[in-house]
């Protein structure tokens, strides 16, 4: 995985970013009222605007996510019983149906936005170091960092296999030949992965690896990080208050 060149929130400590994202996601997932989700939608938006987050990169995600919600609404709303709320052409939307869809759409967008703004531009190395400092088990952090390290290697490997397929005139269609070719390519990729895993394990053993994750970077918690954590906590409290008061 390549590190992202434009990290909008680089001034914040990675631990603060992870805690903000986790807290906002947890509170949003628990919300059951549309009004309670609005702060969770506004908070990452404001953070993104302040830190100049490249929102344009989320446009395809927003189209895909809300496309799924429109599809869900069209297939779900006719089956929700209750008092009629609005009529759109032949479709009558009931109050419980509108509530269900409102919560779903707001929560879906708020959750994805929180994750994207706080975490998507974070450097992979920072993610590993921050998780390590947040007392996530070493074995898990090591696994995560190894996956991040080798995704790039395997993407290159897969690109080489695809190039070889194309050089032999392979043109994917929905037929047995395509499936057979893809199966052999997948098999070859897994085989090379397993071979490389053995090499990596041997290399780690040779270098005296004893199961600890060595984080060479020092993370500095600043006042700004505490301020943003405090703001996130306030947003979460407002969400719970709005949820209870409805």
Q: Which of 131, 180, 117, 189 is nearest to 159 (CA)?
A: 189
Q: Which of 187, 231, 212, 192 is nearest to 20 (CA)?
A: 231
Q: Smaller CB distance to another protein: residue 6 or 222?
A: 6
Q: Smaller CB distance to another protein: residue 49 or 70?
A: 70
Cα 42 from Cα 31, distance rounded (Å): 15
Q: Smaller CB distance to another protein: residue 214 or 223?
A: 214
Smallest gap from residue 132 Cβ to another protein (A): 15
Smallest gap from residue 148 Cβ to another protein (A): 7
Smallest gap from residue 239 Cβ to another protein (A): 13
Q: Smaller CB distance to another protein: residue 110 or 229?
A: 110
Smallest gap from residue 246 Cβ to another protein (A): 16
Instruction: Give the C-alpha distances (Å, rounded to integers) separating 34 from 13, 31, 96, 185, 218.
Output: 31, 8, 12, 47, 41
End-to-end CA distance of the chain: 45
């Amino acid at each position: 995985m390549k590190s992202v060149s434009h990290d909008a929130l680089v001034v914040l400590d990675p631990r603060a970013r992870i805690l903000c994202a986790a807290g906002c996601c947890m509170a949003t997932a628990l919300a059951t009222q549309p009004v309670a989700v609005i702060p969770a939608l506004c908070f990452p938006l404001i953070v993104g605007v302040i830190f100049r987050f490249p929102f344009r990169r989320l446009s395809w995600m927003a189209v895909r996510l809300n496309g799924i919600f429109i599809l869900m609404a069209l297939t779900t709303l006719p089956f929700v019983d209750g008092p009629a709320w609005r009529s759109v052409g032949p479709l009558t939307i009931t109050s419980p149906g509108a509530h269900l869809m409102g919560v779903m759409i707001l929560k879906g967008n708020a959750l994805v936005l929180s994750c994207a703004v706080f975490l998507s531009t974070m450097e992979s190395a920072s993610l590993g170091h921050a998780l390590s400092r947040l007392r996530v088990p070493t074995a898990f952090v090591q696994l995560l960092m190894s996956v991040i390290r080798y995704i790039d290697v395997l993407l290159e490997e897969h690109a080489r296999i695809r190039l070889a397929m194309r050089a032999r005139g392979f043109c994917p269609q929905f037929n047995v030949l395509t499936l057979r070719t893809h199966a052999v390519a997948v098999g070859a990729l897994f085989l090379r992965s397993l071979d490389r895993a053995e090499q990596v394990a041997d290399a780690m053993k040779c270098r005296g690896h004893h199961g600890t994750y060595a984080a060479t970077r020092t993370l500095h918690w600043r006042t700004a990080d505490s301020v943003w954590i405090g703001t996130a906590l306030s947003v979460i409290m407002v969400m719970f208050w709005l949820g209870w008061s409805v």
